C-alpha cells in the first residue's frame, strides 16, 4: 500500500520508523510547521520531520489542513491509507481521502482516556495498566471503530515519561500488526459504542492550574499527580515565595499535627511536605531560576526560610 504518515513528536517517530523497517511504502509525511524555539527563536523542526528528511521522504507542513493547495498536493500522492500518530484533529476532507481510510494510533485502551493527555491521566488516576489502540478515524475525536489494542503494565514507580516510552514502542508494534491486517483485508472493526461507555475516564488537555499540588489531598493522590506530570509539564508547589517543580517523590504514611503544605527539612538531605495523611519526601526538584537537581544538591546550595504559600 501507498501510505501517508501524519505525526509530530518523538512518540510518532517510532511508528514511522517501524513502517519503513517493515518495508511499507511511505510516500509522504505530514507534520507541523517549523516553530521558533529557544533564546534565539531559531526555527525548530519536529522530530518526525527530521526523521523523514533523513529517509528522503517528502514532507508536507500545512498551516491549515483545509488549504486547497495542501489538499491538492496530498491527493497527488494517491495514497491507499493514511496513518496518524500524535497529530492534530483532521477534517473529513483529509481523513476520508484514501480508499482504505485513515487509522490512528492512540495511547490508551479506548474508549477510556480519549483526549489530548491519555498518558498523564492514566498515571494521575493510579491505573495499573494502560495500552495502545488502533482505530479508524471518523467525525468525533478518538471515537472511531477499534481495530486492535494491546495492554501495557504501569509499575507503581512509573512516571509519565516511563509510560510514554513503553507505549511508544507498543504503538509501533501494534501499527505494523494493523497495517498487515489491512493489507490482507483481515480487519473486523468494533464500534466503540458497543463497549461499556457509561463510566468512561477522559484525558483532556492539561493546563498550568492542573499542575498545582493541593496538599490537602492524601499522599497517594499527590504522589500519582507528581509522577503523572513528570517530566512534563511537571507538578509544582511554592516554597519561600518561589515556584518549586517536583519530578520525583516518595510516600511516607505517618501521623502528624502539621498543616498540609508545610515542610520540614534537616537542611542537608531531606525535605518533606505534609499531606492529609503523612508526608511526601521530595527526591528530585527544580526551583525557579535553577536547573533540575536532587534534593541533597538543592539543600547544599539553598537556605530555606521556612515558608510556603
pLDDT value at 306 more than 70: no
Give 36's pLDDT tier (boundaries 50, 70, 90): confident
Strands (E), the chain: 2-7, 25-30, 35-37, 42-44, 59-60, 81-85, 102-106, 129-136, 146-153, 235-239, 242-253, 263-265, 271-274, 278-287, 293-294
**Helix and strand counts by DSSP (H, E) for the chain:** 8, 15
Give 216's pLDDT tier (boundaries 50, 70, 90): very high
**Structure-block grid coordinates of residue 43:** 526555527
Nearest alpha carbon to residue 3 among 107, 143, 100: 100
Q: Residue 181, SS3? A: helix
Nearest alpha carbon to residue 99 among 7, 182, 12: 182
Instruction: Write the pLDDT tens digit of every residue in 271-286.
Output: 999 999 999 999 999 9
Q: What is the mean pLDDT of the chain?
A: 95
Report the alpha-carbon distance of residue 120 to residue 97 in Å, rounded: 32
Report the alpha-carbon distance of residue 110 to residue 113 in Å, rounded: 7
CATH 3.40.50.720 for domain 208-301, yes or no, is no
208-301 shares the fold of 2-194? no
- Terminal-to-terminal C-alpha distance of the chain: 58
Give percent of the chain above pLDDT 90.
Answer: 88
**Structure-block grid coordinates of residue 279:** 508526608
**pLDDT number for residue 297:** 95
Report the alpha-carbon distance of residue 181 to residue 104 in Å, rounded: 15
H-helix or E-strand spanning residue 95: helix 92-95
Report the alpha-carbon distance of residue 146 to residue 108 in Å, rounded: 12
Residues making up the annotated binding site for (6S)-5,6,7,8-tetrahydrofolate are 108-111
Residues making up the annotated binding site are 108-111
For residues 122-141, average pLDDT? 95
Report the alpha-carbon distance of residue 134 to residue 148 in Å, rounded: 5
Report the alpha-carbon distance of residue 125 to residue 128 in Å, rounded: 9
Q: Where are the domains of the chain?
A: 2-194, 208-301
**DSSP assigned state of 85:** E
For residues 250-265, average pLDDT? 94
Contacts of 269 (CB under 8 A, 6+ apart): 295, 296, 299
**DSSP assigned state of 192:** G
pLDDT value at 152 more than 70: yes
CATH number for 2-194 (one of 3.40.190.10, 3.40.1190.20, 3.40.30.10, 3.40.50.170): it is 3.40.50.170
Give 96's pLDDT tier (boundaries 50, 70, 90): very high
Most confident region among 16-30, 38-52, 134-148 by mean pLDDT: 16-30
Amino acid at each position: 500500500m501507498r501510505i501517508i504518515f501524519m505525526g509530530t513528536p518523538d512518540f510518532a517517530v517510532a511508528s514511522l520508523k517501524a513502517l519503513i523497517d517493515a518495508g511499507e511504502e511511505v510516500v509522504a509525511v505530514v507534520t507541523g510547521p517549523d516553530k521558533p524555539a529557544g533564546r534565539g527563536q531559531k526555527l525548530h523542526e519536529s522530530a518526525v520531520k527530521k526523521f523523514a528528511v533523513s529517509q528522503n521522504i517528502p514532507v508536507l507542513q500545512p498551516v491549515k489542513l483545509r488549504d486547497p493547495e495542501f489538499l491538492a498536493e496530498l491527493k497527488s500522492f494517491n495514497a491507499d491509507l493514511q496513518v496518524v500518530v500524535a497529530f492534530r484533529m483532521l477534517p473529513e476532507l483529509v481523513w476520508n481521502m484514501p480508499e482504505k481510510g485513515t487509522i490512528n494510533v492512540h495511547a490508551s485502551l479506548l474508549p477510556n482516556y480519549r483526549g489530548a493527555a491519555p498518558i498523564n491521566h492514566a498515571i494521575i488516576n493510579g491505573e495499573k495498566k494502560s495500552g495502545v489502540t488502533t482505530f479508524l478515524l471518523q467525525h468525533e475525536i478518538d471515537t472511531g471503530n477499534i481495530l486492535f489494542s494491546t495492554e501495557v503494565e504501569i509499575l507503581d514507580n512509573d512516571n509519565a515519561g516511563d509510560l510514554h516510552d513503553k507505549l511508544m514502542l507498543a504503538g509501533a508494534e501494534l501499527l505494523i500488526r494493523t497495517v498487515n491486517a489491512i493489507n490482507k483485508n483481515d480487519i473486523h472493526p468494533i464500534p466503540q459504542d458497543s463497549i461499556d461507555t457509561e463510566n468512561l475516564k477522559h484525558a483532556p488537555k492539561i493546563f498550568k492550574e492542573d499542575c498545582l499540588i493541593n496538599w490537602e489531598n492524601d499522599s497517594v493522590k499527590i504522589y500519582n499527580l507528581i509522577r503523572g506530570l513528570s517530566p512534563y509539564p511537571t507538578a509544582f508547589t511554592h516554597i519561600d515565595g518561589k515556584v518549586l517543580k517536583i519530578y520525583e517523590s516518595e510516600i511516607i504514611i505517618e501521623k502528624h499535627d502539621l498543616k498540609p503544605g508545610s515542610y520540614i527539612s534537616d537542611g542537608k538531605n531531606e525535605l518533606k511536605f505534609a499531606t492529609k495523611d503523612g508526608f511526601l519526601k521530595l527526591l528530585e526538584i527544580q526551583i525557579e531560576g535553577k536547573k533540575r537537581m536532587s534534593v541533597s544538591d538543592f539543600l547544599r546550595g539553598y537556605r530555606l526560610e521556612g515558608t510556603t504559600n
